[in-house]
Structures are given as structure tokens and as C-alpha cells.
Amino acid sequence: MRLIYNLGLKIYLLLVKMSASKNPKARKWLDGRKNLLKRIKAETNFSEKRVWVHCASLGEFEQGRPLIEEIKRAFPEKKIVLTFFSPSGYEVQKEYKNVDYICYLPLDTRRNAKRFIKLINPEVVFFIKYEYWYNYLSILKKKSVPVYFVSTIFRKDQLFFKWYGGWYRKMLKKATHFFIQNQESADLLEELNIKNYTVVGDTRFDRVAHIYENVKPLPLVEMFMDNQKAIIAGSSWKAEEALLMQYLRIFPTLKVIIAPHEVSDENIQRIQNLFGENNTICYSKATPKSMVGKNVLIIDCYGLLTSLYQYGLIALVGGGFGVGIHNILEPATFGMPILIGPKYEKFKEATDLVELNAAFPVSNIEEFNTLMNHLLNDRTIIKIISDKASAYVKDNVGATTKIISAVFNR
């Protein structure tokens, strides 16, 4: 099975190379790893032990960030290495200041894993949520380096719990400890006779609570809002944008802020064309004069979405018509009703908020219009929903403190 795994990595690399000429993300994935181990060796001196935190992408970084920042606060002498698998995490956070070194994770060949671990010299490793890399885990286990999985959640349909998943289960047994999100995950681990876990919840609650407490105003957005509240499309894709566009045909005076998942020039232009250039303004081009008469503000840069939610009345969070929804805890902490697509059931926070009647799945334009009309025609309902959403976040903070205490004996 290990041979098949390693062959699969080679095939994956070949596919990335084949698509790189047409796919900018694939090109960044390759370029970021070009001579990476040589660059690490030349750029750093890892004679001291390091804390290594690995995140697949941007979403996992938001889960790992509270852990990183609490380690830095509690142990300022510790050096931290942060790695990403995906360009969508690395490219956005490559200037992040709370760690000592940031890079891509070299592909999980045995040679890469041995060299990388030797270079960064970790004393402890945190893998955020997922990311089960066989060669890295095997070598870390052999070297007796403790490996902790943080904010992990397990589902019955994962390979670990299939009758043919024995090889994948071996990877789980290389972990030192799992800090998991819920009791369902604990029950699944118990079925495998894995006892080294603690149910602590999700560190993202700590992150969004911190965002809420430290949110800063966005003067340009405030001018655009003109003392109103907006419908905010967060990490939107085509499906969510189409719903909003059709609703605006009925209620054209609504204020809408769109923060798309993809901010390439091509995608921003597509959104402008969809909503009409006469009615839209891009954040990068916005001035007090140019915003007059515009009802749709398009955020054509990364990094603002968490602050945008303070200006929202209702949130429409993207991804639920595709592979799965993006972060809905951010609008929840600001106390907003949240609309999502139908593919949300793999996300615990989404199922929780749906059960609380604080988030609402919609499958088509008719359901979306009905729900929007219901909310906008009765602001009392919005207040009730908002209180439920923000209370849900407040009731679930604290996972980071529990992890730090357990790992570092504080």
C-alpha cells in the first residue's frame, strides 16, 4: 500500500505540472516548491528546536491561528515554523508576522520528509484539522517527535472507518494525541480502539471571538453603507452571486457587498458584468465620489471579509452549492442570519446553526427569495436570529486554552 501511496504522489505531481500552464494555482503550487529545501537550508538556522504548525489552506490557518498566537504570547522564546499545502493559504498569509518562518510543505515523499524534518528540527508538531501525510507522520513517529492533531473532526464515511481502510488507520495510530471537535468523532475513534483523544471543540471559535473583539472600522465601506446595513456575500461563487443578482432585480435599492472567493481580474470583471457596471464599484477603485449611486460594492482583494461582517444585516456564505460551505462562524459572531447552499452537512458548526434556526439552507431562487422576504419584512425576527448566532459562538470558545494546557503543561 505504501508503494501505491508513493506512486499516487508522483501521479499527482505530474498532473499539477501538466495543468500549470493554464492553471495559476497549480503554477504557484509548483513555483513555491522549486528548490524549497535548498532555500530553507540557505535562509535559516534551525539549530534550536522549533514548533511546527501545518495548515492545508486558509481555512485551516484560521483554526491554527489562535494556537499560534497563544504559543507566541505564552512562550515568546519559542520559534514557530508555519507550512501550507495550498497556494490559497500560503499566498494570503506569507507575510504573517507571528511566526519565524513560513513556507510550503514539500510533497510527502520519504526523501522530502526526512530532509524537511531534519532542517526545521521540530520539538512538537501541530497538524490542523486534517492532513494525514504518511511519510511525515512515520518519520516524526520514528524520531519520537510528538504530533498533535487540532480541531479534528471525523465522519463515518472517511476511509479510516471503511472495511478496506486498514492502511489509513495506521496513520491515525502515529499521532500522539487528537484534540477533536465533538463526541461523534470520539465515538468513531473508540470504534478503532484509539484512546488518545480529548474533546475540546473547535479553535475557530476563539479566532472569531478575537476578531469580533478587535474589529476595526473600514471608512470606505462606511461611506458606501450610508448608515444602512448590507447583504454580505462572503467567499461567494457563481451560484450565490446569481441568487443575489436576481433578488436585486426585485429590490434594486438594497446595499450589497460581495467578497468573492476568487479575486482574479477576470472574476471581478465577471461579477461587474453580472450586476451591471453602472451599479457596482470595486473596493480598490472606490472614492466618496465614485460610490454615489452605487448599491453593489465588490471587494477585489483578500483580507477584509472578517471586518466587513460588522456592516451586515444578512450573510450569504459561499460554497454550499459546490464542495462545501466556507466559514460561517465569522458572520455568526457578528450576530447575523446566515444563508447557505444545500451542501453543509459535513460542517458541524453549520448543522448546529441550522438546528438553532440561525442558519438557513436554500436550494434555489424560490427558496432564497422567500427567505429573504421573510427576514427583510420583519426585523424582529432578524434580532432573534442574531442573538442565537452570537450566543452560539460565545458558548463554544476556549479550545485553544485547553490544548495549550495539555501540550505544554500550563
Residue 11 main-chain phi, psi, to 5 deg: -65, -40
Please determine, for residue 336, whether its predicted confidence score (pLDDT) is greater than 70: yes
Q: What is the pLDDT of residue 43?
A: 85
Alpha-carbon gap, residue 160 to 169, rounded angstroms: 5
Q: Mean pLDDT throughout 378-396?
A: 94
Q: What is the pLDDT of residue 130?
A: 84
The CA-to-CA distance between both ends of the chain, in Å, stands at: 40
- With a pLDDT cut of 70, the percent of the chain lying above it is 100
Q: Which residues of 165-178 are buried (b: 16+ CB within 10 A; e: fewer)?
A: eeebeebbebbbbb
- Tell me the β-bridge partners of 149: 127, 178
Task: List Cα–Cα distances, 62 to 151, 203, 253, in angstroms.
Answer: 11, 8, 34
pTM tops 0.85 = yes
Q: What is the pLDDT of residue 303?
A: 83
Please determine, for residue 88, whether its predicted confidence score (pLDDT) is greater than 90: no
Length of the chain: 410
Which of 205, 146, 151 lies closest to 180, judged by CA? 151
Q: What is the pLDDT of residue 410?
A: 64
- With a pLDDT cut of 90, the percent of the chain lying above it is 87
Q: What is the pLDDT of residue 47?
A: 72
Which tens digit of pLDDT belongs to each residue from 120-129? 999 999 999 9
Which of 263, 257, 245, 203 lies closest to 365, judged by CA? 245
Mean residue pLDDT of the chain comes to: 94
Question: For residue 252, what is its C-alpha cell?
Answer: 434594486
Which tens digit of pLDDT belongs to each residue from 44-81? 776 788 999 999 998 899 999 999 999 999 999 999 99
Which tens digit of pLDDT belongs to each residue from 98-111? 999 999 999 999 99
Question: For residue 73, what is its C-alpha cell?
Answer: 504570547
Which tens digit of pLDDT belongs to each residue from 347-385? 899 999 999 999 999 999 999 999 999 999 988 999 999
Q: Which domains does the chain have, with CATH numbers?
A: 2-210+398-408 (3.40.50.11720), 217-394 (3.40.50.2000)
Query: In which band, very low, low, confident or very high, does the pLDDT at 409 lie, cut at 50, 70 and 90?
Result: confident
Which tens digit of pLDDT belongs to each residue from 297-328? 999 998 899 999 999 999 999 999 998 899 99
Q: What is the pLDDT of residue 46?
A: 67
Please determine, for residue 1, whether its predicted confidence score (pLDDT) is greater than 90: no
Question: For residue 262, what is its C-alpha cell?
Answer: 476568487
Question: For residue 174, what is its C-alpha cell?
Answer: 502515529
Residue type present at position 152: T
Question: For residue 79, what is its C-alpha cell?
Answer: 520559534
